[in-house]
Chain A
Amino acid sequence: MPLQTFFIGIAAFCGLATFLAVLMVIADNTIANYGEVKVTINESTDYRVPGGRPLLATLAEQKLFIPSACGGRGSCGLCKVKVESDIGEYLATELPWITAEEKPENIRLSCQVKVKKDLAIRIPEELFNVKEYRATVASLRDLTHDIKEVTLKLVDPPEINARAGQFIQFQVPEYELSSESVYRAYSLSSPPQRRDIVELEIRLVPNGICTTYVHQHLKEGEEVTINGPYGEFYLRDSEREIVFIAGGSGMAPIKAILLDMAEKQISRRARYFFGARSKRDLFLVEEMQELEGKLPNFRYIPALSAPAAEDNWKGESGLITDVLDRNLESGDNVEAYLCGSPGMIDACVRVLTANGVPEELIFYDKFG
């Protein structure tokens, strides 16, 4: 008798669960099936895609990559596109990221809106240059105790056409910290002249999905997938003096820009303020000094905020903001390029504007 009750219980429960599951599958294939729809981009390119999924994922399947740092969770606000056909009201999950100027333009978060009928959207032309690359890990090198240099050799396509300072997205496969594959953005530290490789500088963030993967799981020779290039962070063509400011792995895009300048013999006056805690956080010091030799008007200025006693530090010390304030005689004729943590960038932008550098001449990549 008790055994019988036991089996009836299990059978009834499984029966109910199966019934509901079948119902869901049927609904998924009927109610949630939107058939094939057409997405028109910039009035020129048409894609025929299966409907019902978020716009960002639908476009990614067509190998068209909208930049996104969070991978579609609606928490970075980067994947904005202009939707020119009717796609319905703004969702509550989009509103925190949409400014008052963007609303009348119908700029939407592509990870939140779903493709349910024919759509017309507008994206910057250069996104068509964005491709997905297969690459193998050529080398892994420790730059400091928590920053690794990762060099990827491109396999297919074999070459990338990026500007110095742009970034790529690195695809992290499923592993113990993440049940699904996610994308994270990293700047290229290799110069654009090296088209066959992509070099990244990745700092270990405790429990960071991608950084933990790169630091603890990635091996030389392994195959990875990246897509890019993205970003508006590149050297503007002018005669102004350049101020570079970076901290930690913010070194990467600045290094790429400097190598590019050395290659092209751009001899504008340039100073590079690099902030670190102590000597063990400094890296690529020789490379920077070598660049000082190649670029006559370039100076590398490392600044330590908390030099250790054994460092015997004779260079600049103090917070990067104070060092910057001390060294910046005037903000006239200066253009600034910043890369680092959001806190550092906000603080440095305040110092720069207080010294008279106009906001439109301050360029930065903020990686939270």
Chain B
Amino acid sequence: MSEAWLAFSIFFAAIFTNNILLTNYLGMCSFLAVSREVKTSIGLGFAVIMVMAATSALNWLVYTYVLVPLNLVYLRYIAFILVIAAFVQLAEMVIERLSDVLYAALGIFLPLITVNCAILGASLFMVIREYSFFSAFAYGLGSGIGWTLAIIAMAGIRQKMARARIPRGLEGAGIALIITGFMAIAFMGLAGMIRI
């Protein structure tokens, strides 16, 4: 299998068959908190795509060229978190400088994402699975898109659900988790189609 084809299949798998939210249940806190409206969840989703793609690639470089040669693989958690935090800060400054529209749409979500476990999760998975640089980027990008897909779907359902009569004990996070479970079951039908 050629390098490009492998990267594409990883990208595809990260969106659909191995969706980081629906198969690994990562990034749940912001997923539950910001999925009330389609519009805001699109904003958050795009911020996640950008940060996840960029940090997967950056962390791959840090891991391969700093941590492995120095035999410091055990430091990967803290190193990855540092890189993610710094990148998010820088990205926020750049966006604020370049575009008011983009800042209003994405910028305010960026501080939320720093502590999103899906971002760290993507970096750790790409290390465990020994991806190449190109595949790591494809995986980060695909995972971000997959996460966005899941949160937009969820927001769509929750908007419809606003008018539904839900048993009192299940309102809010309760029903949201049950729906996430159903969505995960639906995505399970796709599991195993691609091995990554």
Contacts and interface: CB of A to CB of B under 8 A. Distances in A.
A12 interface: yes
B96 A92 contact: no
Contacts, number: 59
A12 B72 CA distance: 8
Given A13-B79, A16-B62, A90 B108 contact: no
A23 to B, nearest CB: 7
A9 interface: yes
B90 A88 contact: no
Given A20-B82, A20-B86, A27-B93, A88 B103 contact: yes
B97 interface: yes
B82 A32 contact: no
A23 B90 contact: yes
A328 interface: no
A17 B97 contact: no
B84 to A, nearest CB: 10
B66 A12 contact: yes
Given A5-B71, A92-B40, A28 B93 contact: yes
Contacts of A309: none
B24 interface: no
A32 B62 contact: no
B101 interface: yes
Interface in A6-29: 8-9, 12-13, 16-17, 20, 23-24, 27-28
Interface string B89-122: 1100110110011011000100000000000000
A73 to B, nearest CB: 14
B64 to A, nearest CB: 14
A32 B92 CA distance: 10
A31 interface: yes
A114 B103 CA distance: 11
Which residue of B62, B74, B86 has the most chain A CB atoms within 10 A of its CB atom?
B86
A88 B104 contact: yes
A91 B86 contact: no
Nearest to A26: B90
Given A9-B75, A92-B104, A116-B96, 6 more contacts: A9-B74, A13-B79, A88-B104, A90-B104, A91-B104, A92-B108
Interface of A: 5, 8-9, 12-13, 16-17, 20, 23-24, 27-28, 31-32, 87-93, 114, 116
What 3 A-B pairs are tightest by C-beta distance, nearest first? A88-B100, A20-B86, A89-B104
6 contacts: A12-B67, A13-B72, A20-B83, A20-B86, A24-B90, A27-B94
